[in-house]
Protein backbone atom coordinates (compact mmCIF):
# COMPACT_ATOMS: atom_id res chain seq x y z
CA UNK A 1 0.00 0.00 0.00
CA UNK A 2 1.42 3.36 -1.00
CA UNK A 3 0.82 7.06 -0.43
CA UNK A 4 2.72 10.03 -1.83
CA UNK A 5 5.36 9.75 0.89
CA UNK A 6 5.11 6.28 2.41
CA UNK A 7 4.96 2.61 1.44
CA UNK A 8 3.87 -0.16 3.77
CA UNK A 9 3.18 -3.87 3.61
CA UNK A 10 0.95 -5.84 5.93
CA UNK A 11 -0.28 -9.42 5.90
CA UNK A 12 -4.02 -8.79 5.88
CA UNK A 13 -6.48 -5.90 5.72
CA UNK A 14 -9.94 -7.39 6.33
CA UNK A 15 -13.41 -5.86 6.50
CA UNK A 16 -14.42 -5.37 10.14
CA UNK A 17 -17.92 -6.83 10.34
CA UNK A 18 -18.47 -5.26 13.75
CA UNK A 19 -18.12 -1.74 12.30
CA UNK A 20 -19.30 -1.75 8.65
CA UNK A 21 -17.25 0.35 6.26
CA UNK A 22 -14.06 -0.04 8.31
CA UNK A 23 -11.22 -2.52 8.25
CA UNK A 24 -8.99 -4.61 10.50
CA UNK A 25 -5.23 -4.86 10.10
CA UNK A 26 -3.84 -8.31 10.93
CA UNK A 27 -0.06 -8.53 11.28
CA UNK A 28 1.71 -11.90 11.38
CA UNK A 29 4.98 -12.22 13.30
CA UNK A 30 7.36 -15.18 13.39
CA UNK A 31 7.85 -14.77 17.12
CA UNK A 32 6.50 -16.61 20.14
CA UNK A 33 5.25 -13.60 22.09
CA UNK A 34 3.93 -10.09 21.85
CA UNK A 35 6.69 -7.47 21.80
CA UNK A 36 6.32 -3.75 22.42
CA UNK A 37 8.26 -2.90 19.25
CA UNK A 38 5.45 -4.40 17.19
CA UNK A 39 3.14 -1.51 18.14
CA UNK A 40 4.89 1.37 16.30
CA UNK A 41 5.11 -0.82 13.21
CA UNK A 42 1.37 -1.52 13.24
CA UNK A 43 0.64 2.13 14.05
CA UNK A 44 2.62 3.10 10.92
CA UNK A 45 0.64 0.61 8.86
CA UNK A 46 -2.61 1.98 10.28
CA UNK A 47 -2.04 5.61 9.37
CA UNK A 48 -0.68 4.75 5.90
CA UNK A 49 -3.73 2.54 5.27
CA UNK A 50 -6.03 5.36 6.36
CA UNK A 51 -4.25 7.88 4.17
CA UNK A 52 -4.82 5.39 1.34
CA UNK A 53 -8.57 5.38 1.98
CA UNK A 54 -8.97 2.39 4.30
CA UNK A 55 -10.37 3.46 7.70
CA UNK A 56 -8.94 1.12 10.34
CA UNK A 57 -11.04 0.30 13.39
CA UNK A 58 -9.23 -2.77 14.68
CA UNK A 59 -5.63 -4.01 14.84
CA UNK A 60 -4.63 -7.59 15.57
CA UNK A 61 -1.31 -9.35 16.00
CA UNK A 62 -0.80 -13.01 15.14
CA UNK A 63 2.18 -14.76 16.71
CA UNK A 64 3.23 -18.36 17.21
CA UNK A 65 1.96 -20.35 20.17
CA UNK A 66 5.18 -21.61 21.74
CA UNK A 67 3.22 -24.33 23.62
CA UNK A 68 1.93 -25.89 20.41
CA UNK A 69 3.29 -29.44 20.12
CA UNK A 70 3.50 -30.74 16.58
CA UNK A 71 2.19 -34.27 15.99
CA UNK A 72 1.26 -34.94 12.37
CA UNK A 73 -0.14 -31.67 11.04
CA UNK A 74 -0.37 -27.97 11.84
CA UNK A 75 -3.70 -26.90 13.31
CA UNK A 76 -3.94 -23.19 12.55
CA UNK A 77 -6.37 -22.37 15.36
CA UNK A 78 -4.01 -23.71 18.02
CA UNK A 79 -0.75 -22.85 16.25
CA UNK A 80 -1.32 -19.09 16.34
CA UNK A 81 -2.22 -16.73 19.15
CA UNK A 82 -4.31 -13.74 18.08
CA UNK A 83 -3.99 -10.62 20.23
CA UNK A 84 -6.12 -7.49 19.89
CA UNK A 85 -3.70 -4.55 20.03
CA UNK A 86 -6.14 -1.86 18.90
CA UNK A 87 -5.89 0.25 22.06
CA UNK A 88 -2.07 0.14 22.13
CA UNK A 89 -1.87 1.09 18.44
CA UNK A 90 -4.33 3.98 18.76
CA UNK A 91 -2.32 5.39 21.68
CA UNK A 92 0.91 5.17 19.66
CA UNK A 93 -0.49 6.43 16.35
CA UNK A 94 0.00 10.20 16.81
CA UNK A 95 3.62 9.80 17.95
CA UNK A 96 4.39 7.32 15.15
CA UNK A 97 2.87 9.58 12.51
CA UNK A 98 4.87 12.58 13.71
CA UNK A 99 8.05 10.51 13.74
CA UNK A 100 7.40 9.19 10.21
CA UNK A 101 6.88 12.69 8.78
CA UNK A 102 9.93 13.97 10.64
CA UNK A 103 12.06 11.17 9.19
CA UNK A 104 10.65 11.82 5.71
CA UNK A 105 11.62 15.47 6.05
CA UNK A 106 15.08 14.46 7.22
CA UNK A 107 15.85 12.08 4.35
CA UNK A 108 14.47 14.61 1.85
CA UNK A 109 17.23 17.07 2.71
CA UNK A 110 20.28 17.40 0.52
CA UNK A 111 22.65 17.26 3.49
CA UNK A 112 21.97 15.00 6.43
CA UNK A 113 22.90 16.48 9.82
CA UNK A 114 25.80 14.58 11.45
CA UNK A 115 24.75 13.26 14.82
CA UNK A 116 25.82 10.60 17.27
CA UNK A 117 22.56 8.95 18.32
CA UNK A 118 24.01 7.36 21.43
CA UNK A 119 20.63 7.14 23.13
CA UNK A 120 19.18 5.10 20.25
CA UNK A 121 22.00 2.88 19.02
CA UNK A 122 22.10 -0.53 20.70
CA UNK A 123 25.39 -1.67 19.20
CA UNK A 124 27.59 1.21 18.03
CA UNK A 125 30.41 -1.21 17.24
CA UNK A 126 28.23 -2.76 14.51
CA UNK A 127 27.11 0.59 13.07
CA UNK A 128 26.67 0.43 9.29
CA UNK A 129 27.03 4.18 8.85
CA UNK A 130 29.72 5.37 11.27
CA UNK A 131 30.55 8.33 9.02
CA UNK A 132 27.00 9.61 9.64
CA UNK A 133 26.06 8.36 13.10
CA UNK A 134 29.44 8.91 14.68
CA UNK A 135 30.06 12.29 13.06
CA UNK A 136 33.72 13.23 12.72
CA UNK A 137 34.98 10.97 15.47
CA UNK A 138 34.81 7.52 13.88
CA UNK A 139 35.82 5.21 16.75
CA UNK A 140 38.75 2.86 16.64
CA UNK A 141 37.98 -0.12 18.88
CA UNK A 142 36.34 1.60 21.86
CA UNK A 143 33.00 -0.08 21.21
CA UNK A 144 34.52 -3.56 21.39
CA UNK A 145 34.72 -3.18 25.18
CA UNK A 146 32.98 -6.28 26.50
CA UNK A 147 29.51 -5.51 27.90
CA UNK A 148 30.59 -1.90 28.05
CA UNK A 149 28.08 0.16 26.12
CA UNK A 150 27.76 2.83 28.84
CA UNK A 151 31.51 2.93 29.50
CA UNK A 152 32.31 2.97 25.78
CA UNK A 153 29.98 5.93 25.24
CA UNK A 154 31.54 7.77 28.17
CA UNK A 155 35.05 7.27 26.78
CA UNK A 156 33.93 8.17 23.28
CA UNK A 157 32.48 11.47 24.47
CA UNK A 158 35.78 12.16 26.24
CA UNK A 159 37.55 11.76 22.90
CA UNK A 160 38.99 8.32 23.71
CA UNK A 161 38.59 6.19 20.58
CA UNK A 162 40.95 3.31 21.38
CA UNK A 163 41.06 0.90 24.30
CA UNK A 164 44.82 1.36 24.58
CA UNK A 165 44.30 5.02 25.44
CA UNK A 166 42.14 4.32 28.51
CA UNK A 167 43.94 5.36 31.68
CA UNK A 168 41.13 5.27 34.25
CA UNK A 169 40.24 1.59 34.74
CA UNK A 170 38.88 1.70 38.28
CA UNK A 171 35.24 1.34 37.21
CA UNK A 172 35.93 -1.38 34.65
CA UNK A 173 35.16 -5.06 35.21
CA UNK A 174 37.96 -7.62 35.42
CA UNK A 175 37.34 -8.68 31.83
CA UNK A 176 37.32 -5.10 30.59
CA UNK A 177 40.60 -4.45 32.39
CA UNK A 178 42.09 -7.48 30.67
CA UNK A 179 41.00 -6.09 27.30
CA UNK A 180 42.58 -2.72 28.00
CA UNK A 181 45.78 -4.35 29.27
CA UNK A 182 46.23 -6.52 26.17
CA UNK A 183 45.57 -3.60 23.84
CA UNK A 184 48.15 -1.52 25.69
CA UNK A 185 50.82 -4.23 25.70
CA UNK A 186 49.91 -5.73 22.33
CA UNK A 187 50.38 -9.17 23.90
CA UNK A 188 47.84 -11.88 24.73
CA UNK A 189 46.96 -12.66 28.32
CA UNK A 190 46.73 -16.21 29.65
CA UNK A 191 45.88 -17.34 33.16
CA UNK A 192 48.04 -20.45 33.32
CA UNK A 193 46.64 -21.46 36.72
CA UNK A 194 43.08 -21.68 35.36
CA UNK A 195 44.10 -23.73 32.33
CA UNK A 196 46.35 -25.98 34.41
CA UNK A 197 43.37 -26.73 36.65
CA UNK A 198 41.25 -27.37 33.58
CA UNK A 199 43.70 -29.98 32.29
CA UNK A 200 43.77 -31.60 35.74
CA UNK A 201 39.99 -32.14 35.49
CA UNK A 202 40.23 -33.99 32.19
CA UNK A 203 39.96 -37.77 32.29
CA UNK A 204 40.51 -40.10 29.33
CA UNK A 205 38.96 -40.94 27.02
CA UNK A 206 38.11 -37.41 25.93
CA UNK A 207 34.96 -36.98 23.85
CA UNK A 208 34.76 -33.74 21.88
CA UNK A 209 31.09 -33.22 21.05
CA UNK A 210 29.19 -30.70 18.94
CA UNK A 211 25.59 -30.55 17.69
CA UNK A 212 24.04 -28.71 14.79
CA UNK A 213 20.35 -27.97 15.17
CA UNK A 214 17.35 -26.33 13.58
CA UNK A 215 14.78 -24.20 15.42
CA UNK A 216 12.12 -23.32 12.83
CA UNK A 217 8.94 -21.47 13.81
CA UNK A 218 6.98 -24.27 12.12
CA UNK A 219 8.10 -27.63 13.61
CA UNK A 220 9.14 -30.40 11.24
CA UNK A 221 9.53 -33.29 13.71
CA UNK A 222 6.78 -34.92 15.83
CA UNK A 223 6.65 -33.95 19.51
CA UNK A 224 8.57 -30.73 18.97
CA UNK A 225 7.58 -27.12 19.56
CA UNK A 226 7.97 -23.90 17.56
CA UNK A 227 11.51 -22.49 17.85
CA UNK A 228 12.70 -25.58 19.76
CA UNK A 229 16.30 -26.46 18.95
CA UNK A 230 16.24 -29.98 17.51
CA UNK A 231 19.64 -31.55 16.77
CA UNK A 232 20.00 -33.13 13.36
CA UNK A 233 23.76 -33.71 13.27
CA UNK A 234 26.63 -34.33 15.63
CA UNK A 235 30.36 -34.68 15.36
CA UNK A 236 32.31 -36.63 17.95
CA UNK A 237 36.10 -36.72 18.09
CA UNK A 238 37.52 -39.23 20.57
CA UNK A 239 41.02 -39.30 22.04
CA UNK A 240 41.72 -42.42 24.07
CA UNK A 241 45.04 -41.88 25.84
CA UNK A 242 47.01 -38.80 24.78
CA UNK A 243 45.89 -35.34 23.65
CA UNK A 244 48.42 -35.35 20.80
CA UNK A 245 47.42 -38.70 19.33
CA UNK A 246 45.32 -38.89 16.15
CA UNK A 247 41.64 -38.66 17.19
CA UNK A 248 38.89 -40.95 16.01
CA UNK A 249 35.87 -39.26 14.43
CA UNK A 250 32.25 -40.32 14.47
CA UNK A 251 29.25 -38.46 13.17
CA UNK A 252 25.55 -38.86 12.55
CA UNK A 253 23.17 -36.84 10.39
CA UNK A 254 19.40 -37.10 10.00
CA UNK A 255 18.69 -39.91 7.53
CA UNK A 256 15.08 -38.90 6.92
CA UNK A 257 13.84 -42.24 8.32
CA UNK A 258 14.42 -42.21 12.08
CA UNK A 259 13.72 -39.14 14.19
CA UNK A 260 17.23 -37.60 14.39
CA UNK A 261 16.99 -37.23 18.16
CA UNK A 262 16.56 -40.98 18.52
CA UNK A 263 19.32 -41.64 15.99
CA UNK A 264 21.67 -39.29 17.82
CA UNK A 265 20.95 -40.82 21.22
CA UNK A 266 21.39 -44.33 19.87
CA UNK A 267 24.78 -43.58 18.34
CA UNK A 268 26.07 -41.51 21.24
CA UNK A 269 25.10 -44.24 23.70
CA UNK A 270 27.16 -46.62 21.60
CA UNK A 271 30.19 -44.33 21.33
CA UNK A 272 30.27 -42.40 24.64
CA UNK A 273 30.92 -44.55 27.71
CA UNK A 274 30.23 -43.50 31.33
CA UNK A 275 33.91 -42.87 32.07
CA UNK A 276 35.96 -40.04 30.58
CA UNK A 277 35.37 -36.35 29.82
CA UNK A 278 32.92 -34.81 27.34
CA UNK A 279 34.27 -31.50 26.07
CA UNK A 280 31.92 -29.00 24.43
CA UNK A 281 32.14 -25.33 23.62
CA UNK A 282 29.19 -23.93 25.60
CA UNK A 283 27.95 -27.25 26.94
CA UNK A 284 24.58 -25.83 28.02
CA UNK A 285 23.43 -26.23 24.44
CA UNK A 286 24.50 -29.87 24.08
CA UNK A 287 23.04 -30.72 27.49
CA UNK A 288 19.73 -29.12 26.62
CA UNK A 289 19.51 -30.99 23.33
CA UNK A 290 20.29 -34.28 25.06
CA UNK A 291 17.87 -33.71 27.93
CA UNK A 292 15.01 -32.68 25.66
CA UNK A 293 15.67 -35.62 23.34
CA UNK A 294 15.80 -38.13 26.20
CA UNK A 295 12.54 -36.70 27.58
CA UNK A 296 10.87 -38.00 24.40
CA UNK A 297 12.94 -41.18 23.97
CA UNK A 298 13.00 -42.21 27.61
CA UNK A 299 14.89 -45.45 27.02
CA UNK A 300 18.09 -43.36 26.91
CA UNK A 301 17.57 -41.58 30.25
CA UNK A 302 19.72 -43.99 32.26
CA UNK A 303 22.63 -43.62 29.85
CA UNK A 304 22.32 -39.84 29.89
CA UNK A 305 22.28 -39.83 33.68
CA UNK A 306 25.47 -41.92 33.69
CA UNK A 307 27.41 -39.28 31.71
CA UNK A 308 25.74 -36.13 33.09
CA UNK A 309 28.66 -35.21 35.38
CA UNK A 310 31.34 -35.78 32.74
CA UNK A 311 30.85 -32.56 30.78
CA UNK A 312 33.54 -29.89 30.61
CA UNK A 313 32.76 -26.53 29.03
CA UNK A 314 35.78 -25.25 27.10
CA UNK A 315 34.02 -21.93 26.50
CA UNK A 316 34.09 -21.02 30.21
CA UNK A 317 37.74 -19.88 30.52
CA UNK A 318 37.51 -17.94 27.27
CA UNK A 319 34.27 -16.29 28.32
CA UNK A 320 36.04 -15.24 31.52
CA UNK A 321 38.99 -13.85 29.50
CA UNK A 322 41.36 -16.29 31.19
CA UNK A 323 42.85 -16.20 27.72
CA UNK A 324 42.50 -13.01 25.72
CA UNK A 325 44.23 -11.80 22.57
CA UNK A 326 44.06 -8.23 21.20
CA UNK A 327 42.65 -9.55 17.91
CA UNK A 328 39.56 -10.98 19.62
CA UNK A 329 37.91 -7.54 19.70
CA UNK A 330 35.77 -8.62 22.62
CA UNK A 331 34.54 -11.85 21.01
CA UNK A 332 34.85 -15.23 22.71
CA UNK A 333 33.31 -17.38 19.96
CA UNK A 334 35.00 -20.54 18.73
CA UNK A 335 35.20 -19.01 15.23
CA UNK A 336 37.20 -16.10 16.66
CA UNK A 337 39.45 -18.05 19.02
CA UNK A 338 40.45 -20.88 16.66
CA UNK A 339 42.41 -18.80 14.10
CA UNK A 340 43.98 -16.60 16.76
CA UNK A 341 45.37 -19.54 18.75
CA UNK A 342 46.03 -22.08 15.99
CA UNK A 343 46.03 -20.22 12.66
CA UNK A 344 43.32 -22.54 11.33
CA UNK A 345 39.93 -21.16 10.25
CA UNK A 346 36.63 -21.97 8.53
CA UNK A 347 37.23 -19.96 5.35
CA UNK A 348 37.69 -22.97 3.05
CA UNK A 349 34.40 -24.56 4.10
CA UNK A 350 31.19 -24.13 2.15
CA UNK A 351 29.35 -23.72 5.46
CA UNK A 352 30.97 -21.34 7.92
CA UNK A 353 28.47 -20.71 10.70
CA UNK A 354 25.79 -22.42 12.73
CA UNK A 355 23.12 -20.21 11.21
CA UNK A 356 24.22 -21.20 7.71
CA UNK A 357 24.14 -24.86 8.75
CA UNK A 358 20.62 -24.36 10.12
CA UNK A 359 19.30 -22.80 6.91
CA UNK A 360 21.08 -25.26 4.59
CA UNK A 361 19.69 -28.27 6.42
CA UNK A 362 16.18 -26.80 6.41
CA UNK A 363 16.53 -26.14 2.70
CA UNK A 364 17.52 -29.77 2.09
CA UNK A 365 14.75 -30.99 4.41
CA UNK A 366 11.87 -28.94 3.03
CA UNK A 367 12.73 -28.02 -0.56
CA UNK A 368 12.94 -30.09 -3.71
CA UNK A 369 16.50 -30.86 -4.81
CA UNK A 370 18.39 -33.59 -6.64
CA UNK A 371 19.95 -36.47 -4.73
CA UNK A 372 23.43 -35.26 -5.69
CA UNK A 373 22.71 -31.79 -4.38
CA UNK A 374 21.30 -33.22 -1.16
CA UNK A 375 24.42 -35.34 -0.64
CA UNK A 376 26.60 -32.30 -1.26
CA UNK A 377 24.70 -30.34 1.39
CA UNK A 378 25.07 -33.21 3.87
CA UNK A 379 28.81 -33.46 3.11
CA UNK A 380 29.26 -29.72 3.72
CA UNK A 381 27.29 -29.89 6.96
CA UNK A 382 29.36 -32.79 8.27
CA UNK A 383 32.65 -31.09 7.37
CA UNK A 384 31.58 -27.95 9.21
CA UNK A 385 30.49 -29.83 12.33
CA UNK A 386 33.69 -31.92 12.30
CA UNK A 387 35.81 -28.78 12.34
CA UNK A 388 33.93 -27.52 15.42
CA UNK A 389 35.01 -30.58 17.41
CA UNK A 390 38.50 -30.78 15.93
CA UNK A 391 38.95 -27.08 16.69
CA UNK A 392 38.64 -27.82 20.41
CA UNK A 393 41.40 -30.40 20.15
CA UNK A 394 43.71 -27.97 18.33
CA UNK A 395 43.07 -25.24 20.91
CA UNK A 396 43.76 -27.52 23.88
CA UNK A 397 46.93 -28.85 22.27
CA UNK A 398 48.24 -25.35 21.71
CA UNK A 399 47.50 -24.15 25.23
CA UNK A 400 48.95 -27.29 26.78
CA UNK A 401 52.10 -26.70 24.78
CA UNK A 402 52.33 -23.12 26.03
CA UNK A 403 51.90 -24.21 29.65
CA UNK A 404 54.52 -26.94 29.37
CA UNK A 405 56.91 -24.47 27.76
CA UNK A 406 56.25 -21.95 30.53
CA UNK A 407 55.02 -19.28 28.11
Question: Chain-wide mean pLDDT for the chain?
Answer: 91
Q: Quick: pLDDT tens for 58-93.
A: 999 999 999 999 998 888 889 999 999 999 999 999
pLDDT of the residue at 257: 80
- pLDDT reported for residue 122: 54
Task: Tell me whether strands 56-64 and 80-84 are parallel, antiparallel or unpaired.
Answer: antiparallel
Query: What is the pLDDT at residue 151?
Result: 87
Does residue 114 carry a pLDDT above 80? no
Pseudo-torsion of CA 339, 343, 345, 348, nearest 10°?
160
Task: Write out the DSSP string of 21-87.
Answer: T-EEEEEEESSSS--TTHHHHHHHHHHHHHHTT--EEEEEEEEE-TTPPBSSS--HHHHEEEEE-HH
Confidence check: pLDDT of 348 > 90: yes
Are 272 and 253 within 8 A, CB to CB? no
Dihedrals φ, ψ of 81, to 5°? -110, 130
Query: What is the reported pLDDT for 285?
Result: 97
Mean pLDDT calculated for residue range 29-39: 92
**Cβ within 8 Å of residue 320, ≥6 positions away:** 175, 194
Inform me whether the pLDDT recorded for 125 exceeds 70.
no
Q: Which CATH code is given to the segment(s) 193-405?
A: 3.30.420.10
pLDDT in tens, 264-314: 999 999 999 999 999 999 999 999 999 999 999 999 999 999 999 999 999
C-alpha distance from residue 299 to each of 250, 271, 309, 401 (Å): 22, 16, 19, 42
Which tens digits make up the pLDDT trace of 245-269?
999 999 999 988 889 999 999 999 9
* pLDDT bracket for residue 120 (50, 70, 90): very low
Task: Tell me the domain boundaries of the chain.
Answer: 2-108, 124-186, 193-405
pTM of the model: 0.87
Query: DSSP string of 168-184?
Result: --TTS-HHHHHHHHHHH
Amino acid sequence: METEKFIMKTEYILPNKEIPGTFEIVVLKASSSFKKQHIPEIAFQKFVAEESGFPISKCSLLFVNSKFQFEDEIHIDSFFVRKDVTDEVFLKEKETKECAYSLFDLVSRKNLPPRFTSNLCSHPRDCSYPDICLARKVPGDIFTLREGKAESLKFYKQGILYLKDIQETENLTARQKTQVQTMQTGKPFINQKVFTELFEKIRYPIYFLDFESINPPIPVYPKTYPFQHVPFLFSLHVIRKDLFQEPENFHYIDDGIVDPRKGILEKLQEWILPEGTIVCFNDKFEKRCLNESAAIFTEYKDWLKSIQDNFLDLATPFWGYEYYHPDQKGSTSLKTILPIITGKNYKNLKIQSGQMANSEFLRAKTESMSENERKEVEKNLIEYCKLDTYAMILILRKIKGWIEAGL
